[in-house]
A and B are shown apart, each in its own frame.
Chain A
Amino acid sequence: MRFHQFILKNVFQRKARSALTMLGVGIAVMAVVALVGIADGFERSFRELYERRGVDLLVVRAGSSEHLSSSVPQQVGKQIGKLPGVRAVSPGLMDVVSFEQANLTSVLLQGWTADSFLFDNLTILDGRRLRADDDAGVMLGTILARNLGKHAGEKLEIANGSFEIVGIYESFNPLENGSAVMLISSLQILMDRPNQVTGFQVVLDDAPDKRASIERVRHDINALRSPQGRPWGIAATPTRDYVRGTSQIRMAEAMAWMTSIIALIIGIVGVLNTMIMSVFERTREIGILRAIGWRKSRVVRLILYESLLLSVVGAVAGIGSAVLLTYALTWWPMVNGLIRGDVAPAVMIQGFFIALAVGLLGGAYPAYRGAHLLPTEALRHE
């Protein structure tokens, strides 16, 4: 018999208690991986929206970490477009609307110009692309169309305005598949934000030193002034930094971690409870091991390895459940593209190491207690 076989026997011959502990750890790990995975997926989706289109800089109102509340005069776009090194600029207006009848409460509505390069990455599945004269036209992403049960050619009420669905598109991005696109001029009228945009997506020319090029154009954009010579009060930010600083993502991450920490504490208490009960139940057994010459360090290893084994099995089950849960959630209409169906491997690895930490923390005190039992007292234990 090997030492690890002894550990396996100890764990798997106390079936009910071991299963309950694994379940506790599994649920904690599932909560961590699912919540952090969803927040991480949200960030990746958001970043992907810009990076896959080659957007180098995002220009919004300076100091605005809240994406939707940013408001910049549309005319700034023309100035940006004339700057050296800038290949393309696309203004964008964003807002959030709800479709109560379909139980959809936060649907992203985007306004683009008809000639925007942003359309290039959309595959039209039904109908056609928006044209410059589609003032009352709208395109729906596949997820939104499915959730609303709508097809091209049908009418759709959006914020008390009536629109014709000119096309259904599929984007590379689930967030965009859950949103709708109309002309920016139409959205400005609908939301009563004349000549205002949320910001600009800027693509730069290819350059040998892209980083330096980004930095230079960024500086030029920030220095732009109105015809009256006043600063526009805008800030150009590299895509990755912008996404990271977005308040919704920061909040989602903070919420995910806060919830995860609660789940983890529950997991640690579960393992601690099981292991301390196990040590208590096995006081005499530990006394025998100590009496026949097992060193304290081996008793510590025995209890810690048992605790780690419970945590690892719980972690594997928890990670698997989190992956399934995250995928299943994408089919829930209310999610509407906000959740990606995949969990990043880094988040799974993170969950695994968190489970190891849970096992170590939950097993540490019981291991210490077990190792320091006096053999003679332990043997007298009934």
Chain B
Amino acid sequence: MNETPLLRAERLGKVYPDGQVNALVEVTLSIRCGEYVALMGASGSGKSTLLNLLGALDRPTSGEVYFDNRPLSQIDDPDGFRSKKIGFVFQSFFLLPTLTALENVQIPMFEGSLGARQRAAKAADLLDLVGMKDRAGHRPGHLSVGQRQRVAVARALANDPVLLLADEPTGNLDSHSAAAVLDLFDHLHRDKGMTIVLVTHGQEVAERAERIVRLRDGRICADERRLAQAARQAAATS
């Protein structure tokens, strides 16, 4: 694994003005390139807030996030940065209901330089990657929740991001669909070397990651590095 930190959060704080809620307090965290990290905690522990700050979706009240040693606060075009570097997967999928799966996957590519045909071809490849090629022409309303989440993963990969951020990606899925999505994450991490940060409050989901960071009341209370799944499986069979 590459030891260079891809993401570094330093003394990160976030206060929401409505109600003066301290969502994050002095959080310092470093995530290496190619690492698979699960952020765990109860509701209101600050894990989604931390994910939003790491993904440049929100700005911290204090502290700084560094991406490749570059402070996010000094990036001129955070939207363009997000588009190129980060893929997002949400608990509620957030697919556009009027578009087909193939079209949904193409939406992030509008900010890139690909032509219409190239976008469609790439979207088809990505749907193939997530096992959804045969459902490319279906709208989200005609897909199962598990299938929708796989389309959402394909959309997150549209611009070849180096970082995949997933907020409770299995929260709305049955166990079978959840396993399929997590298998997909394993594949992206193991075979594509993708850095993944995943928010969950499920222990079973978190155990798929090689590192579990636990939050409580906006602070990191535990940071547990684990063996990679492949190593765990090897250890179990030996």
| A295 CA / B112 CA spacing, docked (Å) | 11
**B83 pairs with A288, CB closer than 8 A:** no
CB distance from B13 to the nearest CB of A (A): 16
Asked whether, in the complex, the Cβ of A376 is within 8 Å of the Cβ of B58, the reply is yes
> Taking CB as reference atom, which chain A residue is nearest B87?
A292
Q: Is the beta-carbon distance between A379 and B58 smaller than 8 angstroms?
A: no
Cα distance, A294 to B80, chains bound together (Å)? 7
- Which B residues are CB-close (under 8 A) to A295? 77, 79-80, 83, 111
Whether the Cβ atoms of B106 and A293 lie closer than 8 Å is: no
In the complex, which residues 1-46 of chain A have their Cβ closer than 8 Å to any Cβ of chain B? 1-3, 6, 9-10, 13
* A83: interface (CB < 8 Å): no
Contact B88 A291 (CB under 8 A): yes
Note all chain B residues with C-beta closer than 8 A to A291.
57, 82, 88, 94
Q: Which of B1-9, B96-104, B180-188 lies at the interface?
A: B96-104
Asked whether B106 lies within 8 Å of A1 as measured between CB atoms, the reply is yes
B53-74 Cβ-contact flags toward A at 8 Å (1 or 0): 0000110000000000000000
- Cα–Cα, bound, A290→B78 (Å): 10
Task: Report how far A296 CA is from B212 CA in the complex, Å.
Answer: 35
Cβ–Cβ < 8 Å partners of A294 in chain B? 79, 83, 107-108, 110-111
Inside 8 A of A13's CB, which chain B residues have their CB? 98
Dominant SS among interface residues on chain B: helix
A9 to B102, CA, bound (A): 14
Q: Which residues of A contact B90 (CB under 8 A)?
A: 288, 379
Most chain B CB neighbours (cut-off 10 Å) among A13, A288, A290, A375 = A288
Task: Quote the shortest CB–CB distance from B193 to chain A (angstroms).
Answer: 21
Number of A-B contacts (CB under 8 A): 68
State how many angstroms separate the Cβ of B220 from the closest Cβ of chain A. 21
- At the interface, yes or no: A374 with Cβ under 8 Å from chain B? yes
Residues of B with C-beta under 8 A to A290 = 79
Instruction: Give, as a whole number of angstroms, the nearest-CB distance from B221 to chain A.
Output: 24
Instruction: Say whether A298 faces chain B, with CB atoms less than 8 Å apart.
Output: yes
What is the minimal beta-carbon distance from A229 to any residue of chain B, in angstroms? 83
Would B94 and A298 count as touching, CB distance under 8 A?
Answer: no
State whether the Cβ of B211 lies closer than 8 Å to any Cβ in chain A.
no
Known contacts A1-B119, A3-B110, A298-B111, A293 near B57 by CB under 8 Å: no
At the interface, yes or no: A289 with Cβ under 8 Å from chain B? yes
Known A1-B103, A9-B99, A285-B96; judge A292-B83 contact (CB<8 A): yes
Which residue in B96, B98, B120, B159 is a CB contact (below 8 Å) of A293?
B159
Q: Smallest distance from the beta carbon of B146 to chain A beta carbons, Å?
A: 19
CB-based closest 9 A-B pairs: A293-B83, A295-B79, A288-B94, A293-B82, A292-B108, A13-B98, A376-B58, A1-B103, A2-B116
Could you list 16 further interchain pairs (A-B, Cβ under 8 angstroms) beyond the known A292-B83, A292-B156, A294-B111? A1-B106, A1-B120, A3-B110, A6-B103, A13-B98, A289-B107, A292-B87, A293-B79, A293-B82, A293-B84, A293-B86, A294-B110, A295-B79, A295-B83, A375-B57, A376-B52
Can you show 10 pairs from A to B with CB atoms below 8 A apart? A6-B107, A13-B98, A288-B90, A294-B111, A295-B111, A296-B79, A298-B110, A376-B52, A376-B58, A379-B94
